[in-house]
Amino acid sequence: MTAPLDVSGEETKATPEAVVTGLGGPKAIQGRSLGQIAWMRLKKDKIALTGAGVVIFLVLVAIFAPLIVGWFGHPPNEFHEEMIDTMTMRPKGGTGISGEFLFGVEPQKGRDLFSRVVYGARISLLIAFFATMLSVLIGTVMGVVAGYFGGWVDAVISRLMDIFLAFPILVFALALVGVLGQFETQLGVQGDTLRILLLIFVIGFFNWGYIARIIRGQTLSLREREFVDAARSLGARGPYILFKEILPNLIAPILIYSTLLVPANVLFEAALSFLGVGIQPPTATWGAMLSAATKYYTVPHFMIFPGMAIFITVLAFNLFGDGLRDALDPKSNR
């Protein structure tokens, strides 16, 4: 015998949210955005967080360099002849390291190494960040245009990528910076400002091919996705699809490549300064300090401290970039 049907008109009300009952009582299930999921993954990567912490520390050191030097050091271009042995032109005691000079002093001139390493961070990070921004801007535009429009546009931009990727950037940078540096009056800027602008242009402009190739490949994949087809079927035009549908989905690869490009640009700037075409003395840069240290190989601390600054900076950015890539990669198993 079957049970009678309930025809009283009462309906069972569904809860607006799914709930999970457990030891702590009912708990609503909350959705997470892609950013929250990426942050959860990144928090589990202690190495990447360490790299991010070092990067933040270096940026703060560069920003507050005058304050730090005022507390713990001396002006970076101030000579301290009393710290130099007049017979050997080496620091007294071998390095000159003391409570007053945390990293010791330079041979011959006696300038505070700690202050110069701290001020060197400003130049290196400034050039690396702005050169990266220039490369990312050009590379993103070129990659998106080539990948979305295809055809002869893609062919032309792809050949430009090949040319820039095959270009001897270091040799060209040596020639260009050296030549343009002689036209300070005609260019309207001079001194360190001119050198910084030239380095940002050379490093940033000739490095866009790498990110353009990555963005082009991502765009080729995205333009065939269902949400792009849906936008087209609703009458969306090219600019709307590019800026509203495709570009937001390229933020992850852009961020990942940017964090990996910054340390490469730090090394590039150091190499140019080491070869004598970067920022000119007496302004402190890590590469120029290494170049000057090659004359005093018997005073190892003169080379160790700027070399370690470059090494730590590059390593920190690479560790953070690798962790960010794993966090933003939806196929990651971490």
What's the pLDDT at 141? 92
Count of beta carbons in the 10 Å neighbourhood of residue 234: 8
Q: Is the N-terminal amide bond of 76 cis, ω within 30° of 0?
A: no
Q: Where do we find the tokens 């300070």? A: 184
From start to end of 19-127, where are the E strands?
Answer: 19-22, 25-28
Give the pLDDT confidence score for residue 53 in this predicted structure: 93
CA–CA separation, 285 vs 306, rounded Å?
9
Residue 324 pLDDT grade (very low, low, confident, very high; cuts 50, 70, 90)? confident
pTM as predicted: 0.81
Query: Phi and psi at residue 91, in whole multiples of 5°?
Result: -60, 145
Nearest Cα neighbor of 58 from 263, 273, 291 is 263
CA 221 to CA 15: how far, in whole Å? 40
Tokens (6 digits) for 153: 């546009």
- pLDDT by residue (tens digit) across 227-238? 888 888 888 787
Query: Which pLDDT score, from 0 to 100, does residue 178 have?
Result: 66
- Sorted by where each starts, the structural domains of the chain and their CATH numbers stand as 124-296 (1.10.3720.10)
State mean pLDDT over 132-161. Answer: 91
Contact 66, 100 (CB under 8 A): no
Q: Cα–Cα distances in Å, from 153 out to 146, 250, 269, 300? A: 6, 20, 33, 54
pLDDT bracket for residue 309 (50, 70, 90): very high
| Residue-level pLDDT at 315 | 93
Model confidence at 188, pLDDT cuts 50, 70, 90, reads low
